[in-house]
Amino acid sequence: MTPATTLLLLAALAAPLVALALLTGAGERRRSPRWDVAIVAGAFFPVTWAVWYLRDGRD
């Protein structure tokens, strides 16, 4: 496998994760006025989703 092919495959695998992180950060930005919280939420999106699920399910 050539280095270009390897790089292309890595980019293809990373793109959905980056998209999910950006969408999660945007969702948290709508819930909270603070940018730092939105950035951390995007970086740790699986944990953020679990917290949202638990918090929204108890309201």
Q: Model confidence over 4-59: pLDDT tens digits?
A: 999 999 999 999 988 888 888 888 888 888 888 888 888 888 888 888 888 888 65
Q: State the pTM of this model.
A: 0.69
pLDDT of residue 43: 85
Alpha-carbon distance of 14 to 5, in angstroms, equals 14
Q: 3-class secondary structure for 5-59?
A: HHHHHHHHHHHHHHHHHHHHHHHHHHHCCCHHHHHHHHHCHHHHHHHHHHHHHCC
pLDDT of residue 4: 94
pLDDT of residue 59: 55
* CA atoms within a 13 Å half-sphere pointing along the CA-CB vector of 15: 6
